[in-house]
Homo-oligomer: A and B are copies of this chain.
Amino acid sequence: MPRAFASVPTRLGAPDRRLRQLTSYSLKRAYHRLQSDAARVLEDLGLRITTYSALAIVCDMPDLRQSQLAEALSMERSNTVVIVDALEQADLIERRRVEHDRRAYALRATAAGRRLCDQATEALHRHEAEMLAPLNDKERGDLMDLLRKLDGGVDGS
């Protein structure tokens, strides 16, 4: 029984007024914007956000294991498999056997992997600077500090 109703405002004031009171909502919107942009940047380099993130960690922490990679990325072990597969098939990292534990692999980036990672990191910083244009330098620093504090309260310990 649909009933007719008066005209709908063609220009909406702030339909998500209530949602904007929630930090998680604003966080989601900002996240979505930055992730879409980052994904586009990485696509040109043949990477996705997850593969780039894994590559960066392997570059900076050679010979870590897949389970440690999973822990660092806060994801399940099982999901690292396909990511590491992709990086290995692209010759960006290697799976090396660990001497005294034949269950595990030590992951290490190749020279090409390190080069691509540096390239990607630079491109991401460049694009991020554009995305953060609405904020001045102090605000950017504040935002980083606040987000890091939120992230489990993990300081450099």
Footprint of B on A, CB under 8 Å? 2-9, 12-35, 37-38, 49, 53, 56-57, 59-61, 63-65, 68-69, 71-74, 94-100, 104-106, 108, 121, 124-125, 128, 131-132, 134-135, 139-140, 142-144, 146-153, 156
Contact between A23 and B63, CB atoms less than 8 A apart: no
When all copies of this chain in the complex are counted, the total is 2
Contact between A30 and B147, CB atoms less than 8 A apart: yes
Q: Which residues of B contact A144 (CB under 8 A)?
A: 23, 26
Most interface-central of A2, A15, A148 (chain B CB within 10 A): A15
CA distance A8 to B30 in the complex (A): 37
Contact between A63 and B8, CB atoms less than 8 A apart: yes
Q: Which residues of B contact A108 (CB under 8 A)?
A: 5
Between-chain CB contacts (< 8 Å), 11 pairs: A5-B63, A6-B63, A8-B104, A12-B61, A16-B57, A24-B31, A27-B30, A27-B147, A28-B49, A32-B74, A134-B149
Which residue in B121, B125, B156 is a CB contact (below 8 Å) of A14?
B156
Contact between B151 and A29, CB atoms less than 8 A apart: yes
CA distance A71 to B14 in the complex (A): 11
Nearest Cβ on chain B to A106's Cβ, whole angstroms = 5
Contact between A57 and B15, CB atoms less than 8 A apart: yes
